[in-house]
Amino acid sequence: MRRRGSKCASTLPTPREAANGGDCEENNKKRPPRLDKYEDLPEYLKDNEFIRDYYRCEWPLKDVLCSVFSLHNETLNIWTHLVGFLIFAWLTVVSLTEEMTMENFMARLFRILRNGESEIRIWRNGYIKFLFYFSEKLHFSKSPLLIASEDSSSNIPLWPWFVFLGGAMVCLIFSTTSHLFSCHSRRFYYFFWRLDYAGISLMIVGSFFAPIYYTFLDHPYWRFLYLSSITLIGILVVTTLLAPSLSSGDYRGFRAALFLCMGFSGVIPAAHGVLLHWDHPHIIGSLGYEIAMGTLYGLGAVFYVTRIPERWRPGAFDIVGHSHQIFHVFVVAAALTHCAATLIIMEWRKGFHHV
């Protein structure tokens, strides 16, 4: 066994079985390495001292990959964002195959939560429709990404909406892979966490595109100013976070503050948009969802920074219920709330484009 070799290999999937161990020599070839305690970790993997056990440490890549389906202290971190990624992939397929409105977004979201099986069937049918659609569109009659207002005043460009969906998918899949692979080696650790920060920045920048684009549809100067500013801020944040030293636990608060500042800089275009269009109820409705989104991100950041609840009972939340899992759930919920906010503005623009 290639691990630091203090104890024998053990059986997955359950971490307790792993901790109990078995017949070392026979099992070493077949079974993945054992899970480690916090104090046995190398310095670079010591991120949260309140999570005491069930660490994968410098596992071979094959075992790391298989650990998606076993229990350890990163399992739910991986799955919370993998499920989030699948939800956004599904939203993208639906948006490409039919008109996405607030009404069918909500209806479908609740249906998928209630009745997964029928939704998977709809997804499969949607995927087939999507393939047909694209083979048809190869003739370039009218791309869904660049719908022009040729024959209908209700059509608006959809690319900003897809920029947001794309940014969310990239962020969630980068996060999933970071939580999965960063335990493999020091090199992987620094590479994947920086990838994760780049993904978060991309999602924040992408989130700005659709609401700003549609709110300032008739104000190209402001639209350009806000979109180029947030893109520039995003590039600066990613460049700053490329420094490996900023990936350590000591800078947890700094990273959270940087992302929150980036997100909350949206208050400026939001306030401007409300001032411009205060008489349109859609803008006020959308603002309500954006405030809810900000609250959800803020709450998530509180868990991320304070490491509640595991700091209250170290070791009790190693597998289920620690702060990072709660933070992930808040991130997905906030991104979905932003979806709702954006769809409201898009609906308004579909109705009022020429007003």
Compose the 126-165 pattern: x for residues touching Zn ion by CB under 5 A, - for all others: ----------------------------------------
Residues 175-214 that bind Zn ion (CB under 5 A): 175
Report the residue number, 24 or 302, with the smaller CB distance to Zn ion.
302
Q: Closer CB to Zn ion, residue 34 or residue 322?
A: 322
The residue at minimum Cβ distance from Zn ion is: 175
Nearest Cα neighbor of 216 from 152, 260, 275, 143 is 275
| Residue 228 C-beta: closest distance to Zn ion, Å | 29
Closest to Zn ion by CB, 175 or 215: 175
Shortest approach of Zn ion to residue 342 CB, angstroms? 24
**Shorter beta-carbon distance to Zn ion: residue 84 or 269:** 84
267-277 vs 281-306: helix crossing angle, rounded to 10: 160
C-alpha to C-alpha distance for 293 and 296, rounded to whole angstroms = 5
How far, in whole angstroms, is CA 205 from its chain's centroid? 13
Q: Is 219 annotated as a binding residue?
A: no
* Subset of 57-116 contacting Zn ion (CB under 5 A): none
- Of 283 and 301, nearer to Zn ion (C-beta) is 301
Least distance to Zn ion from the beta carbon of 177, Å? 11
Which residues in 160-179 contact Zn ion (CB under 5 A)?
A: 175
331: tokens are 């991130």
Q: Kindly state the tokens that stand for 84.
A: 């989030």
CB 248, min distance to Zn ion, A? 15
Residue 7 three-state SS: coil
In this structure, the dihedral spanned by the alpha carbons of residues 197, 203, 205 and 208, taken in order and rounded to 10 degrees, is -150
Amino acid at 200: I
Task: Using the minimum distance from each CB to Zn ion, give the nearer residue, 182 or 215.
Answer: 182
SS3 content of the chain, % helix, strand, coil (to 5): 70, 0, 30
Contact 290, 341 (CB under 8 A): yes
CB closer to Zn ion, 102 vs 301? 301
Give the number of residues in contact with Zn ion, rule: CB under 5 A: 1
On the 0-12 / 13-18 / 19+ scale of CB atoms within 10 A, 129 is middle
Per-residue tokens: 69: 């389906």
Q: From 254, 272, 159, 147, select the one nearest 206 (Cα to Cα).
A: 159
Least separation in angstroms between CB 163 and Zn ion: 22
Per CB under 5 A, contacts with Zn ion among 20-59 are none
Smallest gap from Cβ 77 to Zn ion, in A, equals 5
Q: How far is the CB of 36 from Zn ion (least distance, A)?
A: 20
On the CB side of 181, CA atoms within 13 Å amount to 17
Q: Going by C-beta distance under 8 Å and a sequence separation of 6 or more, which residues neighbour residue 127? A: 93
Alpha-carbon span 290 to 340, nearest angstrom: 9
Confirm whether residue 179 is marked as ligand binding: yes
Residue 196 CB, shortest distance to Zn ion, in Å, is 6
The nearer residue to Zn ion, 95 or 175, going by C-beta atoms, is 175
Q: How far apart are CA 230 and CA 216, in angstroms?
A: 15
Residues belonging to the binding site are 179, 324, 328
Residues belonging to the binding site for Zn(2+) are 179, 324, 328
Return residues touching Zn ion (CB under 5 A): 175
